[in-house]
Structure 1
Amino acid sequence: MEIRAQKKQKKSLSSFSILFIIIIALTIVSWLLSGQTFTPTVPSGASEAVDHVVGAKLSDFVMAPFNGFKDAIEICVFILVLGGFLNIVTRTGALEAGIQHVVRKLKGNELIIIPILMVLFSIGGSTYGMAEETLPFYALITATMVAAGFDTLVAVGTVLLGAGSGVIGSTVNPFATGVAMDALKSIDITPNTGVILIIGLILWGTTTAFSIFYMMKYAKKVKADKGSTLLSLQEQEDMKKYFGQDENKELPFTSKDKIILSIFSFGFLIMVISLIPWESFGVQIFEGWTSYLTGTSFGHWYFGDLAMWFFLMSLVIAIVYGLSEKQTITTFIDGVKDILSVVLIIVVARGASILMATTHLDLFILDKSASALQGLSPVLFVVGAYILYLLLSFLIPSTSGLAYVSIPVMGGLAHNIGLSPDVMVMIFTAGCGVINLITPTSGVVMGGLEIAKIDYATWTKFMVKPIIVISFMNLLILIAAMLLL
């Protein structure tokens, strides 16, 4: 039995191996397509148009991870600091005591945690594109779900499917619908904000409802029968090792624990408030006075600001608990070391994206696919465009970057053949959102799985059914919208 388990484990590729295989494959494909031309296009962040595929140089391949680190430096520093922060909180024992207290209070009603959290994450995804911002929650929610009798897949699904459902049904998301509408304006097409909002709300409601149903069904099954989990034996051992608690050990929930968890919660509350683009909603209340700490007002904070915020919170919690200067530094550094693998995965994933942009493979595929969609019926056009965005989102995980380069092409194409460019915006957000639930080029997916100690193969197996159902529901809604508008 043990030999069989070991053999099975050897067949499972690590996240790093998968990402490096993708980088190798992209390099080879760029060589094969080198010189192939496409309609001149200005890439995101560039000032000059490009019109052909460039074969990746050896230096592009070798330097891909380092270039990924340069591009993702802010989120990398944020994740490292967050690791130190979480380790200091863990050192106090307040987090474990608090989780145990919550689980005791919810005894018999643990399932209620799932819909509450998923709706909150979904709202974040729909309104401001919550993605990388979910990474701090994985460790906490995984520990909570395991303590409640679920497995790590329930934890990752709650966060990733929750926020992802919101992104699929983006309403006022400035990084998806916002950038896409600006892209339409750049080609003299005035987007209908009302239509985009209504379609977004319908996609959001249906996708979130199904995602909650799917997660609740799986969680209920796992809680009733631990043998029904999709986790491998190794993953189950990792779950117990990293997130398990001694069920016979009842921890007291002291006043100091409550103070520490209040500071902990306040830290995350400020993170959420600081990231919401308040100006987009006409809210000016945070402007000016909230810039005293980092020089940037709430609504404009990014990962650099958040890194320093959580560093300060680490010091506050260490002082409240009574850690010495040496204990604080040692504990913080140990936390940084524990989460380093997540940072490296984000770096390599970003390196793959940069390699695609360098070779212009993404623009080549966009141009040729758009040409193939001309002349199709509205139904086939929607299906084809949706499939195209599934592929493009694999190549360009950044929703804002993809909107910038693709919407002028796809929105313009829809307009020219008498179809709705507004529906095209929602085809873009839906396709992007779905594939970003499983794409290995997403640092959020791979980073979240690394934190929860889940293999990528296990996650894809878990997500096959919901991806199919969500895509089918999305297509029905989008086809109906295209036929009616």
Structure 2
Amino acid sequence: MSGFRFPSAFTILFLLIAIVAVLTWIVPAGLYDMAFNEALGRDAPVPGTFHAVEQSPQGWTDVLLAPIRGLYDPIEYTANAIDISLFVLVIGGFLMVVTRTGAIDAGIGGLLKALQGREILMIPILMTAFALGGTTYGMAEETLAFYTILIPVMIRAGYDSPTAVATILLGAGIGTMGSTFNAFATVIASNAAGTTIQDGLFLRVVILFASLAAGIAYVMRYASRVKADPSKSLVADNLEEHRAHFLKGGADAELPEFTRVRSIILSLFGLTFLIMLWGVIWQDWWMGEMTALFLGMSIVIWAVGKFSAETAMNEQEFADAFVDGARDLLGVALIIGVARGIVVVMDDGQITHTILNSLEGMLGGLSEISFINTMFGVNIVLSFLVPSSSGLAVLTMPILAPLSDFAGVSRDLTVTAYQSASGWVNLFNPTFAVVMGALAIGKVSYDKWLRFVFPLLVVLAIIVAVVLSIGALSTDSAAPEPAKTTAIDESGTSGN
């Protein structure tokens, strides 16, 4: 078995699609009745209405169609995969246009010169910044724009591409795991559970800070080992290939001069991301608006570059640069659709609600600590099936939150268990397009990422379990306040 190679991300995802298709022949099909939930402003499952429906097994043609339909079939409460894929392609074009001006390489040179001997500080600074995006608005797909920027910086600093991937993916992911005011997770789940976002905030902040500290220490330790001994890198066998790919001219290539025009281009480059964050947080932008922003700024940067012979491109060179950049991220764009194919097969086979109903039965008759930690485990299982945090909240909270009343656990703790599980799983979930996209950009195989992140996952799970247990003990023998835990009535709406 010495010649065995772990399959590619595409193969792993196709195998998962096939496995889910087989399950649709075995797992009984079933559905909850859906009704409009006023607290959520959308349809949600009605507790106690689960019923069997006619089996809808998925065959080999459905398996082959799944990755294709995964690109264009709408999945409720999430962006369509084709929207995300187009966003990725346009980002690739935008980044290549900026790269061809030499502005990014010149900026990297200036940054490394300023941080000489202290490059390791980039990790805590950037992980904290991405965690802020994760905890406030569930930063996920937006991070795909940053990988091709940070990877060359980390490689030139003496680290490797997994260091850059971990900095972004774990930073934003841990932030989402410890969501505080995340409208796409905590707010939706709190509404569905009949509680408020302020309830349970302290415990979520504890999870955020403890987990982020653990994540930063873990990534810094790995980065220090790689810099001291490159053979310790996850991608040690491919370091030269990575340097050639990500640094274009090679690790020893002279960096371009930091001219006035390049400084203006870098300012526009940074402004683009600030505008994106402003649009997402305050203007309800999503994939279409963000894609248009990067396309428009590509044109602006090309026009500014014409003011210097060193950065100027004619129309044909600009078009070629944009297409070349999109081509570099084509594999990432395709893998997003393949990952969505798993959800397509599961929904068509009508087994999602069956799995939810069976897991619901596991929670009866448990003590407070056992209940909340089992709730954490149940949501881990469900997060593999529904990687969207908002989609998972709408699906599960109307069913699972009322069970906490019988266990003597406050519903806000159930919300914390849900969001922690969703965030934890999405640090490595192969059905989550952001994970597979990030690994594809960084040229890190999925098996290597699992080996790297597994010890940290154990630590993070322990942190969450301890905090949840303390929270459960604090409400021991105290029934939840009626105003905060109003039961969901038969219509599926809250009693408030």
Query: Above 0.5 in TM-score?
Result: yes
8 A contact 2:420–2:464 mirrored in 1: yes
Unpaired runs of 5+ residues, structure 2, are 73-79, 307-312, 476-496
Note the C-alpha offset of 1:180. Answer: 0.3
8 A contact 1:42–1:405 mirrored in 2: no
1:171 equivalent to 2:165? Answer no
Q: How does 1:465-484 map to 2 (within 5 A)?
A: 465-484=455-474
Q: How does 1:72-221 map to 2 (within 5 A)?
A: 72-184=81-193, 189=194, 191-221=195-225
Note the C-alpha offset of 1:17. Answer: 0.3
Note the C-alpha offset of 1:57. Answer: 4.5
| SS at structure 2 position matched to 1:194 | coil
- Of 15, 31, 54, 2:9 maps to 15
8 A contact 2:67–2:337 mirrored in 1: yes
1:457 equivalent to 2:422? Answer no
1:238 equivalent to 2:232? Answer no
8 A contact 1:238–1:453 mirrored in 2: no
The change in CA–CA distance for 1:413 and 1:38 in structure 2 (over 3 A counts) is: farther
Q: How does 1:292-307 map to 2 (within 5 A)?
A: 299-307=283-291
Note the C-alpha offset of 1:240. Answer: 1.6
Note the C-alpha offset of 1:206. Answer: 0.7
Separation (CA, whole Å) in 2 of partners of 1:178 and 1:262: 34
| SS at structure 2 position matched to 1:213 | helix
1:27 equivalent to 2:21? Answer yes
Separation (CA, whole Å) in 1 of partners of 2:460 and 2:434: 20
Matched residue, 1:256: 261
Matched residue, 1:311: 295
Note the C-alpha offset of 1:462. Answer: 0.3
Separation (CA, whole Å) in 2 of partners of 1:376 and 1:370: 12
Residue correspondences, number: 451
When the two chains are superposed, the root-mean-square deviation of aligned CA atoms in Å is: 2.0
Separation (CA, whole Å) in 2 of partners of 1:473 and 1:260: 43
Note the C-alpha offset of 1:337. Answer: 1.2
The change in CA–CA distance for 1:471 and 1:47 in structure 2 (over 3 A counts) is: closer
TM-score (normalizing by structure 1): 0.89
Note the C-alpha offset of 1:47. Answer: 7.9
Note the C-alpha offset of 1:67. Answer: 1.6
Separation (CA, whole Å) in 1 of partners of 2:316 and 2:246: 26
1:356 equivalent to 2:356? Answer no
Note the C-alpha offset of 1:133. Answer: 0.8
8 A contact 2:8–2:445 mirrored in 1: yes
Which amino acid counterpart does residue 24 of structure 2 have in structure 1?
Answer: S
| SS at structure 2 position matched to 1:193 | coil
| SS at structure 1 position matched to 2:159 | coil
State which drifts further: 55-64 or 84-93: 55-64
Separation (CA, whole Å) in 2 of partners of 1:47 and 1:150: 47
8 A contact 1:12–1:457 mirrored in 2: yes
TM-score (normalizing by structure 2): 0.87
Note the C-alpha offset of 1:56. Answer: 2.2
Matched residue, 1:423: 413
Separation (CA, whole Å) in 2 of partners of 1:372 and 1:56: 27
1:271 equivalent to 2:271? Answer no
Note the C-alpha offset of 1:361. Answer: 2.4
Note the C-alpha offset of 1:32. Answer: 1.1
Which amino acid counterpart does residue 51 of structure 1 have in structure 2?
Answer: H
Matched residue, 1:320: 304
The change in CA–CA distance for 1:232 and 1:354 in structure 2 (over 3 A counts) is: farther
- Of 382, 390, 401, 1:411 maps to 401
| SS at structure 1 position matched to 2:51 | strand
Separation (CA, whole Å) in 1 of partners of 2:316 and 2:59: 47
Matched residue, 1:54: 56
| SS at structure 2 position matched to 1:440 | coil
Which amino acid counterpart does residue 258 of structure 1 have in structure 2?
Answer: S
Separation (CA, whole Å) in 2 of partners of 1:16 and 1:156: 19
1:402 equivalent to 2:392? Answer yes
Which amino acid counterpart does residue 239 of structure 1 have in structure 2?
Answer: H
Note the C-alpha offset of 1:90. Answer: 1.0
State which drifts further: 193-202 or 435-444: 193-202
1:222 equivalent to 2:226? Answer yes
Q: Deviations over 1:344-374 (max 9, x none)?
A: 0001111212222222322212211111111
The change in CA–CA distance for 1:12 and 1:379 in structure 2 (over 3 A counts) is: same
Separation (CA, whole Å) in 1 of partners of 2:416 and 2:33: 25
| SS at structure 2 position matched to 1:21 | helix
Unpaired runs of 5+ residues, structure 1, are 279-298
